[in-house]
Every structure is written in structure tokens, then in C-alpha cells.
A and B are shown apart, each in its own frame.
Chain A
Amino acid sequence: MPEIRVTPLGAGQDVGRSCILVSIAGKNVMLDCGMHMGFNDDRRFPDFSYITQNGRLTDFLDCVIISHFHLDHCGALPYFSEMVGYDGPIYMTHPTQAICPILLEDYRKIAVDKKGEANFFTSQMIKDCMKKVVAVHLHQTVQVDDELEIKAYYAGHVLGAAMFQIKVGSESVVYTGDYNMTPDRHLGAAWIDKCRPNLLITESTYATTIRDSKRCRERDFLKKVHETVERGGKVLIPVFALGRAQELCILLETFWERMNLKVPIYFSTGLTEKANHYYKLFITWTNQKIRKTFVQRNMFEFKHIKAFDRAFADNPGPMVVFATPGMLHAGQSLQIFRKWAGNEKNMVIMPGYCVQGTVGHKILSGQRKLEMEGRQVLEVKMQVEYMSFSAHADAKGIMQLVGQAEPESVLLVHGEAKKMEFLKQKIEQEFRVNCYMPANGETVTLPTSPSIPVGISLGLLKQEMAQGLLPEAKKPRLLHGTLIMKDSNLRLVSSEQALKELGLAEHQLRFTCRVHLHDTRKEQETAMRVHSHLKSILKDHCVQHLPDGSVTVESILIQAAAHSEDPGTKVLLVSWTYQDEELGSYLTSLLKKGLPQAPS
């Protein structure tokens, strides 16, 4: 029995370290290759020894697909390809291919230079890894090999994020990566056609949340920022360099312009300028409005937002600072946070999801005394706000996508088990499909029953379709033919053609039955009576009385003859071929019962 098997190596009932193995029709595909922000040990990368203990991964995987450039989706890629060893193709979109190596290098620097980790992947490894990447266009059907094809769909979320359809013959799986069903200030909404996959693997970060309108959240955000700077406080907004940062920059930029504000806005990382440049060059991946007006005004050229210098953090007076990384787990955002945390006039706004174990997660869950390195305790007096700007679909959005794609079953990843449970029930109720939520290392097996494509000779098909158009064809009619199987080539042709093609002669099997009737009349009259009798019963059939005195029903021949000994008996010779077996047999038994008395 053919089946689809799915095993998450990461992101199973968890957020972070996305890595999902899919086996479909004998092909093995790895979806994403991420790192976990909550761990600093072995657990930060997926356990690739699950795929094979010895031997290169290339022999076990047909391809790897990366959905977008966030490190929890691509952070383990150089480790996977260069240190564990994989030489097959890695597919991602052009913007992902452009931005991914920069974030990997950033990640490497923090790990090696700042934390002094040994045995980490090197810059050269990132380069070598990126050489294995094949860039894909949206909606392009990429033929990985003769049977396996993949296709990318727009996912919103971040620049270049894509959902992927993986297809072999008539079986298919769709993996959403992270996606967003409502357009925001710089990206469009995810979209997929009614592709009816056997399985939809969807993220479920906001499985239980239904967010209010984006406008309200934006107004709230601006109000909070404005109030804080008005009373002379400093606002820290931890972000990742690419993605939410650009959306919030656009938001603040337009607000500052409208309100004519002078309070400085800084962006903390050297990446900004470059990051904005990527947005300009890949503007076809942004939303409709930005694309339409980019010739007149490029939304990614900011007037009010300037580069941040470390020394600015100690400047007196209000300011707004965007700093990386977004979960306050390391780097500049954490440094600034430590400086400003003690003052209740200040505010930190967390615009996205924070993984367990990060400082961001701790302060969001209400912790106000944080244990820092060296047993130092940091008291958080500044205001902590959470604004969901991270571009994940909420429960409504996830349901919407399931409705769009119409999968036969759904599998949840990239979320918390409790929340998944809730969404799973909802999906099963509403769509009446099975929904799975495997933990890491747990395999879900789905039996599939793919139909088999064959070539039917046009003659046979047209003959059948022509009959299908007749009004009598209300009963299901049967098509008869012969399937010729030669190598892997399957053709359905009429039986006559099959025999002819193979040089076989038809063997005709014919039956002739003698039916004795008591009838004193002449043979001709007997034949006439047989004719009118059959005609009255077999209304749907072609019953004919031929000039030579014989009667036919379709292709069955009935002749009346005198009995050699008994003049009061006539012999009916009923003759048919094996192909007319049912009707022939029926006629003999019908005639055996005798003919109705002719009206005299």
C-alpha cells in the first residue's frame, strides 16, 4: 500500500528548529533546516542521525527545501550540508537565497566571536553550502527528477517566504513554512490554489489566537510609542533585521511625518541599510501598493530613521531604537535592554513571538527579576508591552488556508502542543479531515491510494463518449478494453486492437442451441410468432425479422426448422457468440417456456 510518511526532527509540537522529513511515493524530502533559539547545546540543531547513522545524507534525501530566511528555518543548513554532509539540491526562492547567507554569517559571528564556541560552521562552509542552492520562481514547476516536482507559492510572512507543494504523480504534500493571511504594510497575503494535496503541513504559531484588526494594533502601537517619547522616555523595539523591522519602520516613518515629530529614531544594526536595499531590489515580492508606487516613491528609503551608535544609548532624552535580535536573547537589543530596564519611564515593545528560554519570553510572561550572567539580578521597571506584529496566520487564517487548499488531511507543526490540540479539533470538526500533530521524532503514516494514469486509444474513448451522450445511457455502462503493459508504458485499447497489435488471432466461440417447440404451423409462421413474441418483451433491443425467414436479436440468430420425425414439433436453432453469452442464454430459456397463443 503506498503511503506518505512525515517525521518532524524539529518544530514538532514546538516552535524553533523547523525540520520535517517527508517520504512520498518513494521520494524523501527535507523541509527546512532550522536552529532553536532556546538552546545553546546539541539540541539547537535537528538530530540528522535520525536520517542515517552512517553514510552521506545525499543518498537518503532527494532534495531539501527552505521556506524562508529566518534562522529557525535555515540556521542549521551549513552544519547539515557541510559538517554532516549533503550534496544534493537545496531549493529556496531568490530573496531567501540572497538574504539567508547574511543572516547565517551574523549568527556564526555571535556564536563564535561573542560566545567563543568552537566546532561551529565557518564562513567558507556558509559559502559552500549556498553553492548547492537552486533558486526557484513563484509558481514555477521545478522538476527535481523525472518524478518529483516542487512548486512555490507566495507566503507573505517575510520577503521571499514561500509555501511549497511537493508532488509525485498524483500524490502531493503542501508545506506552508510560516505564512500570513492578511497583507501588511509591506507584504501581501499568502495564497494557494485549490490543489487538493493528500496532506497539508501547516504552521500553527497562533493556533488559538484570533487577532483584532491590524489597524487597531497599529494605532495602539503608535499611541504607546508616542506617549512614551512625549513624557521623555526611551522606547526599545527588539526586532530581527529583516521583516517586521521594515514594516514598523514604514509605520513610524509615516507617523513621524504626519505628526511632524523630531524625536530621533535609530536602527541598531549595520545590516539595515543593506536590508532595505534588498527590499528595494526585490520589490516584486512586496505588496501591491508598494509595487505600484515604487517608481514615484520607494517606501524603503527612510528619512527619519538613522543608524544607531552604541554611545547613543546613554544620551539623555527620548528616542526610539530598533535593535536586533528580536527575542532579547543576545546582541545589541539585550545590551540596550539592560541599560534601560531600570527606568519606569522607558518602554520595551516586543513585536513578535518569543521562544521559551529567551529573555523576551521571560519578561512577557511577567517575570520582573531576571538572573543574568554572573548571578547578577536585573530588576525590570520599564514598561513591557507585547504587540503581535509577527506575521503568522492566526487561527482564522489557518482555517482559511485549509479551506483554500482543500487537503485530504492536515498536520500541524511550529506551535505549542496545547494550542495545537485546540486547533486540531477545530479543523477535524469543520473540514471533516484527519489532523495530526506529531512530536519530534514521531512518525505519521498516511496510506494513499493513487490512481494509475494510462493512455486510452482515442478511438475507444470517443466511441464510449459518443454512446454516453445517448439518452438511454442512464444506467452505468461498461467500457471494455484491454490494458497493454509494456515496460512502464500502460495503454488501454479495444480488445480487437490489442489482439491485432500482438499478432494474436481471435478465437470465436459460438453456441447453437436447439429449442423444441410444439407448433403445427409452418416454419415461417413459427418464426413470425417468435419475432412478435420477442419484440413485445425485448423493448430495448433490436429485434428483426429477416427476409430469409430468420429472426435476429441484436447479433443473435434464431432459425426455425421442421423436426425430422415429429411434424407437430418445430426446432428453433438459437445461435450466438461468447460475447453475447448473457443474452443468448436468456433467449433460450425464454423460448423454452413456449410462445403465447396467437390470437386466432
Chain B
Amino acid sequence: MKLYCLSGHPTLPCNVLKFKSTTIMLDCGLDMTSTLNFLPLPLVQSPRLSNLPGWSLKDGNAFLDKELKECSGHVFVDSVPEFCLPETELIDLSTVDVILISNYHCMMALPYITEHTGFTGTVYATEPTLQIGRLLMEELVNFIERVPKAQSASLWKNKDIQRLLPSPLKDAVEVSTWRRCYTMQEVNSALSKIQLVGYSQKIELFGAVQVTPLSSGYALGSSNWIIQSHYEKVSYVSGSSLLTTHPQPMDQASLKNSDVLILTGLTQIPTANPDGMVGEFCSNLALTVRNGGNVLVPCYPSGVIYDLLECLYQYIDSAGLSNVPFYFISPVANSSLEFSQIFAEWLCHNKQSKVYLPEPPFPHAELIQTNKLKHYPSIHGDFSNDFRQPCVVFTGHPSLRFGDVVHFMELWGKSSLNTVIFTEPDFSYLEALAPYQPLAMKCIYCPIDTRLNFIQVSKLLKEVQPLHVVCPEQYTQPPPAQSHRMDLLIDCQPPAMSYRRAEVLALPFKRRYEKIEIMPELADSLVPLEIKPGISLAAVSAVLHTKDNKHVLQPPPRPAQSTSGKKRKRASDDVPDCKVLKPLLSGSIPVEQFVQTLEKHGFSDVKVEDTAKGHIVLLQEAETLIQIEEDSTHIICDNDETLRVRLRDLVLKFLQKF
């Protein structure tokens, strides 16, 4: 069993597991941090951005100044932003049988894999994962396509040139494989390959392997996966949470007794407490608005935003913010808010019971009804008429490289009254802000990452006791910025096996058994023999049938009826099939009893001689000699088949057959 590691990003994994005869891709994450190297795509032409100076080499050579621009000491690529794909060369992706998706953030590379590698398999995901994943992709495509950029930079990617560039461009990996965003057509085609599954649904793959999604507690419809056969079990844990937010709680018990547990998607901010961050978020927001400033919250259109809106719902009145408009701007804002209300079955118990009343599970329905929260597809259109300041705007993209957020950064960046609050943990906020420097607005960093932290992981591992743990290498050492924090890594016995991008791991697995079914007729014919207390043995001779990876044992065929001489027999017809083996024998033969038995059966001239290792029983008249030792019996006789068979059966009476 092997694990091919196609992504080096610990929270946006993409691994391929070869298990028995199946090839299973686990998640399809897209590393979007590559976009931080690009200039933002403004919705409205920005003089500041278009007047940034071109970058030139130290020796003054300016041949790259069309492609690279400089802003406050940082260099950016002036081009359509590109994404870092999972490895496509490590394994032939057309051989992948199925793709298992754990949550909507971990499927963003799906169109690249399903549409351009010859993939012909099936993708499994829950309904919320599909629907919200579709919204995320739709938003992404919309953000990029609505501001067409003529320029596509490629010179800088040349290896010899890349060496000369300043960091972080110099150190960017695999730049030659970076790709532009997919189209909506590719998204639709990719998503049409998804088959919907429910938690605890057992899905058979080719009769060889069974996969099951389990609730992971992190997002609407997010799952961990069990991949198992009858005797082996792999747990794939990706993006799980033990906090009580809106999703159904994590199913931990089903992860028990795993041979291998693959652990990805832990919190990216292990030192921050999500609850504290939410509190800080609210107080900073209130402070800014009270002082007459605007608040910008760069965010994804689904996920933590539901929790933030719920907190604000409880907080607004007590903080005296009832008259402040809240705007949610995204091409999929309406859909996201609507969809969140119809997945009752995937929500935590509290929210589920609201639906039984029947009331919408999320209070943002009420915020919308009372006009406190308004949503718009973009800053164009209705929004420009309704726009009132000071206000709070939720909008994407959290990278600050595209989407309506770019507009608000340009609009509000110059005033220190305004605040941008970062809640999404996927991008370094300093890097995200770099192309907007110098900046007067306040920047607050309240990353809310509800995924497992290292304390929770170590508790989880103690509880579910996997034989082996496999994880990205980042989790086996403290974070680079906090190298003294020896508590910020996975500590387990035996030590976790770590992987990095483009590595192939052989998983420590010893398959020893396989399931087989014994047909009832055969089972009836078995004669069990109790060998030791509680342990019985039965010799089995049966015909093996294998179909669709399922094995069945059927009773041996009855000896063919002799065709009563109608057909002329050839000599070779009588040759017995040597494959018809007799069972093994065990036990030993007590000489005295054996001799008595012989005498009882009419052998009168039995003589016994002792030898070094046992005895020799002589039947003088028949010129037959039987050597009996502890573990063997040898019958030496003339060619008298009747006699031999009689003796054989008498010997067998003392032995057990297996």
C-alpha cells in the first residue's frame, strides 16, 4: 500500500492512496497562496496600481519591467493571477478510480484534475460540499473573468531569470506548473462527476474496498473518510473541528482501530483561540464604527461568515450598532445565505431543532428581513445606490488579489478611521497587504481557524489509537516562527511518518487475511473437531470462486458418475487428479493399542520390536512391516491393495485430519 503525496500544503491536501486494487485520491486542494505574488485585479481602474514603477535588475537592466512591478519594496507579477496545482507527474492520474472530497475548501483543484488528466472515475462528496464548493468556484471564476487582463507574464518564470529575482518570487516553487483559473464550463463538467453521499454511508468500490464519510465538525457537510476492507482500515482525517459551531459534531468513535490514520488539515494558527478571536473581532468592529470609520472583512462567501453573522446578531443591539448597515458582497452571496438554511440535516443539534419548529436555522434570515444585513452580487448596480457610510462590508477574496475587496482596499486604505479585519487564516495578512502599502487604515488580525489544534490532536490520537500516523512534514516540527514551541507538533508513538510534496510513502501495512464466504451447503458438511478448549478445527476442501473481488467457497463437485462403459475409456482417463490432496495428519499412535486393534481385526501374528526412535510392528505372514515413530508411520508391504487399505484405515483411526 502506497501513498503518493501531490500537495505540500498541509491544509489543502491532495494525496493518492493505492489500497488493494484501487487507486483513491484523497482531496484535491488548490494552493492559492501563489496569487500573493501577483498584483491585485482592480474592479475599477486604479491609477495607483497602474502607475507602479517597473522593476529592474541591480545592474539597471529593465527587460522585465513590463512583467514585474515594484510597490513599497516588494515586487509583484503584473499578470492574470495563477495557482499552484498539485503534482500531476508523480502518478498517472488517469488511473485514479475515485476522488474523495472532505470539505468544500479541499476541492478547488478538481477541474484541473478531472478535465485535463484523462480522469474517468467518480468523485464522492456530500451535498453541502458540492453546493458550497460550486459557489466558491463560481465566485473565483467570476472574480477573475470579470476583469479581463490582457497581459500574461511568462518571462519571469524562466529558471535563469527567476534566480535573479528578489524573495519571495525567487523561492516560489514549481512556477512552470502554475496555471490560470479554470472556466465555468470546466467547473460544471468537473462537478457533474460528483456522486452525492451521506454520513455513514457505506460505498463499495469494486467489491474490494469500502469507503465511508464521517462528520468532521469543521464545515457544512465536511467529512473525514474511512477506507477499509474486512481486515484493514485507513482513516483519512482532514479539516476536523471539536468546537461547537454550526456543523454537525465530529464523529470520533468511528475512527477507532485504524491501522493507519492520515492526518491533515489542522489549524493554521495553533496559538490563537477562535473564541477569543471572535470577541476581538466584534470589539474592533464596534470601536471603528463608533469612531465613524468603515470596517472591511475579507472573507469567503461561506463558512466562518455564518458564525460571524450569528455573533453580530447577538451583539449589534447591545453594542448600539443597530443602525449601521452590514453589506455582504459576492456574486454568490444570496445563494450562500439561502443554501445555509436548507441543510438542516448537516447542522449541529441546536440548529436542527430550530427547523422542527419550523424556523430557519441561522439568524441571518432575521438580519436580512429587518434590513440590517444586505447582500449584493457586486459593487456595481443596486449597491452603489444603497451604499451608506460608515458601514461594515464582508467581501472576498481573502487574498486581496481579486474580487470586490480590492475596490474597498483602494477606497478606504488612505484613512486611519477605517479598519480591515482579517478573519480567514489561509493567507498571511502582511503579504496580502503588501501591494497596498503605504496604508493608513488600521489592520487587525483575528484569524478564526476552528480546526484541530495540537492538544486536541494528541487527545484524539490517544482515544482512537491508530497503529500508525501519517502527516505532512510541517506537523512533525514546530512552526518556523516559533521553533522553541515543542508543544506545537504531533507527538505520538510510534512517531508519525511524515510526507512532503512529490514523495511516495510505503505505508506500514501487513495484509494477512481476506474475507471469503462459505456457502451454507459446504458449511453443513464440515466436521469441526475440538482440539483445545474453545478451539475447534475443521478440514475444508472446497472449490474457490472469485467474482468482482468477492471470494466464495462452494462444496466440491460430486465425483462424476461413471458413464457405464458407453464411451471407450482411455488409459489416461483413470489417472487421478493430483490436485485432489488429502488432508494433513497429526497426532501419534500408541503402539499397544494399535497392536490390540490389529488383533481385533484378525491379524494374529503381530510382533513388535523396539527401535531407537519408536517401534516396528511386523505382520510376518503378510511380509508387512509398520514403522511407528512419534511423528511418522511407514507401512511397507507387498503389492496387496486390500491389505494396505485396511492397515491405512486402522492407522488413520488414531490420527486427526486437517
List A residues at the B interface (Cβ < 8 Å). Answer: 94, 97-98, 135, 137-142, 170, 274, 277-278, 280-284, 294-295, 449-458, 461, 464-465, 468, 475-487, 491-492, 495-496, 498-499, 502, 504-516, 537-541, 554, 578-583, 585-586, 588-589, 592
Q: Lowest 9 CB-CB distances: which A-B pairs, in order?
A: A455-B513, A449-B520, A582-B576, A495-B584, A451-B517, A508-B632, A137-B198, A456-B516, A139-B201
- Cα distance A46–B576 in the bound complex, in angstroms: 65
Tell me, in angstroms, the Cα distance from A484 to B540 when the chains sit together: 10
A513 touches B644 (CB 8 A): yes
Query: Which positions in B face A, CB cutoff 8 Å?
Result: 127, 197-202, 212, 230-231, 334-335, 338-339, 341-345, 352, 355-356, 358, 360-361, 511-521, 523, 526, 528, 531-532, 534-544, 546, 551-553, 556-557, 571-572, 574-589, 630-639, 641, 644, 648, 651-652, 655, 658
Q: Which residues of B contact A135 (CB under 8 A)?
A: 345, 352
Q: Are B534 and A486 in contact, with the CB atoms below 8 A?
A: yes
Instruction: Give Cα distance in the complex from A477 to B543, angstroms.
Output: 6
Q: CB within 8 A of A482: which of B127, B539, B574? A: B539
Known contacts A480-B581, A485-B528; is A140 also within 8 Å of B535 by CB?
no
- Residue contact B345 to A137, C-beta cutoff 8 Å: yes
Majority-rule SS of B interface residues:
mixed
Given contacts A476-B556, A507-B587, contact A516 B639 (CB under 8 A): yes
Q: With a CB–CB cut-off of 8 A, which chain B residues contact A592?
A: 639
Bound-state Cα–Cα, A583 to B582, Å:
11
Report whether A139 and B535 are in contact in the complex, using a CB–CB cutoff of 8 Å: no
A295-B339 contact in complex given A484-B537, A485-B535, A586-B576, C-beta closer than 8 Å: yes
With most chain A CB atoms within 10 A of its CB, the pick from B518, B541, B551, B584 is B584
A282 to B347, CA, bound (A): 13
Q: Which of A142, A284, A539 contacts B343 (CB 8 A)?
A: A284
| Contact residues in B for A505 (Cβ distance below 8 Å) | 586, 630-631
Query: How far does the alpha carbon of A170 sit from the alpha carbon of B231 in the complex, in Å?
Result: 18
User: When chains A and B are docked, how far (Å) is the Cα of A203 from the Cα of B323?
Assistant: 58
Chain B residues closer than 8 Å to A450, beta-carbon distance: 520
A581–B582 touching, CB < 8 Å: yes
Interface pair B516/A509, CB less than 8 Å apart: no
Pairwise interchain contact A508-B200, C-beta atoms closer than 8 A:
no
* Chain A residue at smallest Cβ distance from B254: A143
* Min distance, Cβ A222 to any Cβ of chain B, angstroms: 30
Contact assessment for B520 and A588 in the assembled complex, using a CB-CB cutoff below 8 Å: no
29 contacts between A and B (CB under 8 A): A140-B201, A278-B358, A280-B342, A281-B358, A282-B355, A295-B338, A449-B521, A455-B230, A461-B551, A465-B544, A476-B543, A484-B536, A485-B537, A492-B553, A499-B584, A502-B537, A509-B585, A509-B634, A510-B632, A511-B637, A512-B634, A512-B636, A514-B638, A537-B572, A554-B578, A581-B582, A583-B576, A588-B639, A588-B641
Which chain B residue shows the least CB distance to A496? Answer: B584
Contacting pair B581 A579 (CB below 8 A):
yes
Given known contacts A94-B352, A140-B198, A512-B636, is B580 in contact with A478 (CB within 8 Å)?
yes
- Complex contact A453–B198 (CB within 8 A): no
For residue A508, which residues in chain B have a CB less than 8 angstroms away from its CB? Answer: 585, 631-633
CA gap between A260 and B114 in the complex, in Å: 48
Beta-carbon nearest neighbor of A291 in chain B: B342
For B516, the chain A residues whose CB sits under 8 A away are 453-456, 461, 492
Residues in A with CB closer than 8 Å to B528 are 483, 485
Chain A nearest CB: distance from B278 CB in Å? 27
Inter-chain contact B578/A583, CB cutoff 8 Å? yes
**Residues of chain A with a CB closer than 8 A to B345's CB:** 94, 135, 137, 284
Instruction: Give chain B residues whose Cβ lies under 8 Å from the Cβ of A476.
Output: 543, 556-557
Given contacts A514-B638, A539-B572, whether A458 and B512 have CB atoms under 8 Å apart is yes
With the chains together, A170 CA to B358 CA distance in Å?
40
Residue of B nearest to A511 (CB): B635
Q: Which residue of A lies closest to B638 (CB)?
A: A514
The interface residues of chain A lying within 8 Å CB-to-CB of B334 are: 295
Given A294-B338, A479-B543, A491-B513, 11 additional A-B pairs, CB 8 A: A94-B345, A98-B356, A140-B200, A454-B515, A461-B516, A479-B544, A485-B538, A502-B531, A509-B655, A554-B578, A578-B582
> Complex: how many Å from CA A89 to CA B608?
72
Contacts of B581 in A (CB 8 A): 478, 480, 579
Write the chain A residue with the least CB distance to B585. A507
Partner among B532, B537, B655 whose Cβ is within 8 Å of the Cβ of A483: B537
Q: How far is the CA of A579 from the CA of B578 in the complex (A)?
A: 10
Contacts of B355 in A (CB 8 A): 94, 98, 281-282
In the complex, the answer to whether B639 meets A515 with C-beta atoms within 8 Å is yes
Chain A residues closer than 8 Å to B588, beta-carbon distance: 507
**A540 & B575 in contact (Cβ 8 Å cutoff):** yes
When distances are taken between beta carbons in the complex, the residues of chain A under 8 Å from B546 are 465, 468
Contact check, A451 vs B552: say whether CB atoms are below 8 A apart.
yes
Residue picked from A487, A495, A496, most chain B C-beta under 10 Å: A495
A513-B199 contact, Cβ under 8 Å, with A476-B543, A483-B528, A505-B586 = no
| A477 → B minimal CB distance (Å) | 5
Contact A277–B556 (Cβ < 8 Å): no
Take A453-B516, A481-B540 as given contacts and tell me if A98 and B580 are in contact as well, using a CB distance cutoff of 8 Å: no
The distance from the CB of B620 to the nearest CB of chain A, in whole angstroms, is 15
A281-B648 in contact (CB<8A): no
List the B side residues contacting A537 at CB < 8 Å.
571-572, 575
Question: Chain A residues with Cβ under 8 A from B539's Cβ?
Answer: 480-483, 495
| Smallest beta-carbon distance A559→chain B, Å | 13
Q: Are B344 and A94 in contact (CB under 8 A)?
A: yes
User: Which A residues are in CB contact (< 8 Å) with B202?
Assistant: 141
Closest to B589 in A: A507
Specify which chain B residues have a CB less than 8 angstroms from the CB of A511 in the assembled complex.
634-637, 644, 648
User: Shortest distance in angstroms between A451's beta carbon and chain B's nearest beta carbon?
Assistant: 4
Q: Nearest CB to that of B523 among chain A residues?
A: A452
Taking the closest CB of chain A, its distance from the CB of B197, in whole angstroms, is 7
- Among A170, A475, A541, point to the contact of B517 (Cβ < 8 A): A170
B584–A506 touching, CB < 8 Å = yes
* Closest residue of B by beta carbon distance from A276: B358
Q: In the bound complex, do residue B200 and residue A141 qualify as a contact, i.e. CB atoms below 8 Å apart?
A: yes
Partner of B586, one of A456, A478, A506: A506
Contact partners of B526 in chain A: CB under 8 A: 483
Question: Which residues of B lie under 8 Å from residue A477 when comparing CB positions?
Answer: 543-544, 579
Bound-state Cα–Cα, A431 to B512, Å? 41
Residues of B close to A141: CB separation below 8 A = 200-202, 212
Most buried by B among A294, A476, A502, A538: A476
Name the one of A454, A485, A579 contacting B582, with C-beta atoms under 8 angstroms. Answer: A579
Whether B542 and A479, one on each chain, are in contact in the complex, defined by CB atoms closer than 8 angstroms, is yes
Tell me the nearest residue of chain A to B202, going by C-beta.
A141
Complex contact A485–B536 (CB within 8 A): yes
Chain A residue, CB-CB nearest to B196: A139
* Min C-beta distance of B128 to chain A, whole Å: 9
Give Cα distance in the complex from A294 to B520, angstroms: 52
Question: Which residue of chain A lies nearest to B636 when distances are taken between CB atoms in the complex?
Answer: A512
CA A554 to CA B579, docked complex, whole Å: 11
Given A281-B344, A510-B632, A540-B575, A456–B537 Cβ distance below 8 Å?
A: no
Nearest residue in B to A101 (C-beta to C-beta)? B356
Contact at B536–A499, with CB atoms within 8 Å? no
Contacts of A468 in B (CB 8 A): 544, 546
Closest partner residue, chain A, to B531 (CB atom): A502
Q: Is the CB of B360 within 8 A of A281?
A: yes
Q: Hey, which chain B residues are within 8 Å of A482, CB to CB?
A: 537-540, 583-584, 658
* Known contacts A295-B338, A481-B540, A483-B537; A509/B651 CB under 8 A: yes
Given contacts A456-B513, A478-B581, A485-B538, contact A138 B358 (CB under 8 A): no
Q: Is the CB of A452 within 8 A of B518?
A: yes
Q: Which residues of A contact B575 (CB under 8 A)?
A: 537-538, 540-541, 583, 586
A-side contacts of B651, CB under 8 Å: 509
A14–B110 CA distance with the chains assembled, in angstroms: 52
Known contacts A485-B537, A499-B586: A281-B342 contact under CB 8 Å: yes
Q: Which of B341, B633, B635, B638 is A507 in contact with, Cβ under 8 Å?
A: B633
